[in-house]
Amino acid sequence: MSEQIPVRTVEAAPTIKSVPARPLKATAGSTDKQIHTRSFTGLFRNLRMSGAGVLFVLFFGTVWLNWGGRQAVLWDLAESKFHIFGATFWPQDFILLSALLIIAAFGLFAITVFAGRVWCGYTCPQSSWTWIFMWCEKITEGERNQRIKLQAAPWSLNKLARRAAKHTLWLAISVITGLTFVGYFTPIRPLAEALLTLQIGGVSLFWVLFFAAATYINAGWLREAVCMHMCPYARFQSVMFDKDTLTIAYDAARGENRGPRKREVRPVEAGLGDCIDCQLCVQVCPTGIDIRDGLQMECIGCAACIDACDSIMDKMHYPRGLIRYSSERQLQGGKTHLLRPRLIGYTAVLLVMIGALALALVERPMVSLDVTKDRGLFRENAQGQIENIYSLKVINKTQQRQEYRLSLVGAEGFELQGKTALSLAPEEIVDVPVSVAMTTERPASSSQTLSFKIEDIDEPQIYSVANSRFVAPMNR
């Protein structure tokens, strides 16, 4: 007799209320694809605005500072020098810039492993300038509903005036941004004066307008498209995430089932979760996503949805944190592990590289010496000695006049002839022709290495050494 499968009655599970179409994105038949964000307040907005304010002050303010009679921060392309307050960096020091960029990359990796895309949401220039442009929209075209109505309304004098005011502010911010950026590569004061008097040179004008146009297009028109389609960071961020990475997440276990209800109705009594499906988290999102659908590539981690949701939870007298910074492990009921091998590894490498860069800056030679041998192989002088001719390029990297001495290091049987005492002004570059005579009768080799040394007479610890070749005939 075959065993029968028992039959039992299964009650239908409660139906989850479907989520309406997102009002921020274009719906079927709509021609308005622009995202209109809603104004909001909250802790993370204040943190973001404070951080952005500091960055704007640094960017727009530092370029106008003077230090030691010149612009404090200036990348002088014409002179191939980078001035940063009291220090001057030369092309020979650009390896330090490469190290700084690598450190910045590792810092980005470390912060991403720990807290996701906080760089994008809080300090990325694209995001920061986009928020400024959105603020311009708010003060010229009104709040979100007013902007949507204005977008759909036919052209009128009111619409033309509001749009003109918005784009005037956009263009003003863009030109100031372009001028400031170019001002880090050419002195800002004469550049600004030349622009105001319409006497600016063609090359400078091109770059000011180029960066102004880039700002206007990126922050005014492209906006979220840059983050979603053009920025590579959104593509490779997932490989740096793990189950303990803090990301902005919706607590579905607490929020479902969604649905509207009166404030005095308890969610349990209505068979609902804490999410009242108000769509506010969607309306404040600058990329137009619904965080309740889970972590998405388009999320820039700005935490606008957290502030919006917390404000609703306060009004409903529910606990905050329905949308919050959380990890995948925590959402599954576990505990977030802050210290883990990948994060420790990135942090350790970052600290080592910062230490190495600091040491390199401290030990950076403040005098530079380059040696170029004359094209001629050798010659014989009046004393019958074999001579080689060299051109020495000496750079005083300090901000004071320095007295230097030229010499040969460990060169027995050779004599340096020519000017060996030098006096260089701050940041002066001189070319010094010298000759080296071989005082021995027979060379040990037809080609030998010579080490030239230049050192500060008053501070011998400031020196530089450069090598070259000495060529002599073997059949003397």
Residue 34 predicted with pLDDT over 60: yes
> Is 259 within 8 Å of 276 (Cβ atoms)?
yes
- List, in order, residues 6 or more apart from 306 with CB less than 8 Å away: 42, 44, 248, 323, 324, 325
pLDDT score recorded for residue 78: 83
Rounded distance between C-alpha atoms, residue 100 and residue 105, angstroms: 9
Taken in order 440, 445, 451, 452, the sign of the CA dihedral is positive
Domains of the chain in start order, with CATH, are 247-331 (no CATH), 367-471 (2.60.40.10)
> Is 434 within 8 Å of 339 (Cβ atoms)?
no
User: What is the percent of the chain where pLDDT is above 90?
Assistant: 72
| Mean pLDDT in residue range 424-433 | 93
Model's pTM, two decimal places? Answer: 0.83
Residue holding tokens 């003109």? 164
- Residues 333-377 pLDDT 10s: 899 998 899 999 999 999 999 999 999 998 888 999 999 998 888
Residue 297 predicted with pLDDT over 90: no
Better pLDDT: 306 or 446: 306
Residue 14 predicted with pLDDT over 70: no
Better pLDDT: 237 or 264: 264
> Is 417 within 8 Å of 437 (Cβ atoms)?
yes
- List, in order, residues 6 or more apart from 197 with CB less than 8 Å away: none
- Residues 383-420 pLDDT 10s: 889 999 999 999 999 889 999 999 999 888 899 999 99
* Residue 476 pLDDT level (bands cut at 50, 70, 90): low
pLDDT score recorded for residue 475: 64
Residue 83 predicted with pLDDT over 70: yes
